[in-house]
Amino acid sequence: MSKNEWPLWEIFIRGQHGLNHRHVGSLHAPDAEMAIRNARDVYTRRNEGVSIWVVPSNAITASSPSEKGPLFEPANSKVYRHPTFFDIPDVVGHM
């Protein structure tokens, strides 16, 4: 077996409608340029995208599952961040 395994890349694609690039999956490629070419074939065979980003998988730092509570729970109690928290009389009109 070859010890020369191609590195892994994470692939991000922007679709037709001007939204953010979105993670679609990963693939192996020797370098960034080949990763883009391969991503074209693997992830955009049906016009799924107009732009591709590739990032070496090992360059991504992820939050750890055990931090889920401390990271995300504080937002639970802050319902006033949502517009529906406030009762505005109908007569005021759309707001």
| Alpha helices, DSSP H, located in 4-92 | 32-43, 68-72
Return the ∠ at Cα 79 (arms to 73 and 80), rounded to 5°.
Answer: 135
Q: Pick out residues in 3-62 that bind another protein (CB under 8 A).
A: 4-6, 8, 25-28, 30-31, 34, 41-42, 45-46, 62
Q: Which stretch binds another protein (CB under 8 A): 1-9, 12-20, 72-80, 83-91?
A: 1-9
Do the Cβ atoms of 42 and 63 come closer than 8 Å? no
82 binds another protein (CB under 8 A): no
- Catalog residues that contact another protein under the rule CB under 8 A: 1-2, 4-6, 8, 25-28, 30-31, 34, 41-42, 45-46, 62, 64-65
